[in-house]
Structure 1
Amino acid sequence: MCTPNDKAVLHALFNPNVPFGNFDEQSPGDIEDNEDLDERFPPALLQQVCALERNGVEAAECGDVKTAILRFNEAIVLLPGRASAYNNRAQALRLQGDVTGALKDLDRAVELSGAKGVSGQKALVQRGLILRLQGNDDAARKDLQKAAQLGSAFAKQQLILMNPYAALCNNMLRDMVQKLHQKELNAETHKDVGDDRDA
């Protein structure tokens, strides 16, 4: 049984480009990109693969990662040239702790998508996050920059967080706002004390 919080966390893994908490507005996973690349696949086969991926995402959202991986494997066997299933399987592998397998699938998704479209964007974001967690900030920054150029707001946020100057500016701005707020409180306190003396 999935709690709403479990679904939100899993959704964030499968949909890194969507702001956290907006998962009800989006379709699950990377299954219906409507990318031009999908037009090269036979429609009936594509529909079958999308259904398998949808089942896999639903299984993962409910904690059944083994079934999710099986569904993504089936989708990959049917359409090995489609990036989406590799991207989704990578997320399931991450949930299992198989970071090496996830990176391999994300590399394949980036290759198949040509680092373009929704599948490419999602694979770049996910790979960038893994690389960042591994301490490979240069490679992570490159992936996130490509994803940001493709329109990923999440990737743009991550790039800002990785910028030491932005962090420094944010800290300075926070300190300045706190000092201004404190001055306003002090002025209010002195004003109230002065008003009491006049009375």
Structure 2
Amino acid sequence: MGSANDRAVLQTIFNPSTPFGDVPGLDEDEDVEQEEEESAFAPELLEQVKDLELQGVSAAESGDLSAALERFNVAIRLLPERASAYNNRAQALRLKGDVAGALRDLDAAIRLGRGRGRAVCQSLVQRGLIHQLQDRQDDARRDFQQAARLGSAFARRQLVLLNPYSALCNQMLGEMMAKLRNPDVTGSD
């Protein structure tokens, strides 16, 4: 089948608009890492908190931000040392317009996750997006770089968008690949 690097190279050749190395299944260690992190919590309490978070996400998706925040608050009270609920509550706070509260929760999630795991990755992406909206591009770039190192394809795409040279190179590579795929199509060159 080939190595992960071989699959990444093929992915880049056949889908030049995707970031290099963005291959499904490449980060298989992520689930093992998350299980290790969550093994520190009592299983019954962890299940209860996960259920509350799912209820909160569902409420937020249906537009009931008050119910979502209520569920996330309870989840945080039950397991205040777990990063995921802070990340989820930050999203609801941001949607409600409380950007300062969202940033506090994202900072807490990143600190609690000690720079690892899915919740930290998602928190870095959210914080990077807020920094972008606040025209703090250097802060956004730092967060996206960290999130990209944790496996976020979205963060890698944001880094490309923040780098005009990389975006131009990606565009030129895409045009070249399109010409190779369809040699009969002549451009206006």
Q: TM class, shorter-chain normalised?
A: 0.7 to 0.9
* Preserved contact between residue 34 and residue 117 of structure 2 (Cα < 8 Å): no
TM-score, normalization by structure 1? 0.69
Say yes or no: does 1:48 pair with 2:48.
Answer: yes
How many angstroms apart in 1 are the aligned matches of 2:187 and 2:146? 45
How many angstroms apart in 1 are the aligned matches of 2:153 and 2:73? 30
How many angstroms apart in 2 are the aligned matches of 1:125 and 1:35? 22
Q: Which residue of 2 aligns with 1:166?
A: 166
How many angstroms apart in 2 are the aligned matches of 1:149 and 1:66? 34
The secondary structure found in structure 1 opposite 2:63 is: coil
Range that drifts further, 123-132 or 105-114: 123-132
Aligned AA (1:116): R
The secondary structure found in structure 2 opposite 1:116 is: coil
The secondary structure found in structure 2 opposite 1:184 is: coil
Q: Which residue of 2 aligns with 1:71?
A: 71
Unaligned runs of 5+ in 1: 1-32, 187-199
How many angstroms apart in 1 are the aligned matches of 2:172 and 2:147? 29
TM-score, normalization by structure 2? 0.73
Seen in structure 2, the aligned counterparts of structure 1 residues 71 and 170 have a Cα distance that, compared at 3 Å, is same
How many angstroms apart in 2 are the aligned matches of 1:78 and 1:49? 7
Q: After TM superposition, give the deviation of residue 168 of structure 1 in Å.
A: 3.6
How many angstroms apart in 2 are the aligned matches of 1:185 and 1:38? 55
Q: After TM superposition, give the deviation of residue 37 of structure 1 in Å.
A: 1.5
How many angstroms apart in 2 are the aligned matches of 1:40 and 1:174? 46
Q: After TM superposition, give the deviation of residue 167 of structure 1 in Å.
A: 3.1
Identity %: 57
The secondary structure found in structure 2 opposite 1:40 is: coil
How many angstroms apart in 2 are the aligned matches of 1:45 and 1:172? 52
Seen in structure 2, the aligned counterparts of structure 1 residues 185 and 169 have a Cα distance that, compared at 3 Å, is closer
Higher normalized helix content (fraction of residues)? 1
Q: After TM superposition, give the deviation of residue 170 of structure 1 in Å.
A: 5.0
* Preserved contact between residue 35 and residue 117 of structure 1 (Cα < 8 Å): no
CA deviation string 1:61-106 (max 9, x = no partner): 1110110000000000000000000000000011101111101100
Q: Which residue of 2 aligns with 1:101?
A: 101
Unaligned runs of 5+ in 2: 1-32
Seen in structure 2, the aligned counterparts of structure 1 residues 175 and 111 have a Cα distance that, compared at 3 Å, is same
Q: Which residue of 2 aligns with 1:133?
A: 133
Q: Runs of at least 4 residues of structure 1 off by over 4 A?
A: 170-178
How many residue pairs were aligned? 153
Seen in structure 2, the aligned counterparts of structure 1 residues 161 and 75 have a Cα distance that, compared at 3 Å, is same
Superposed CA RMSD in Å reads 2.5
How many angstroms apart in 2 are the aligned matches of 1:35 and 1:139? 30
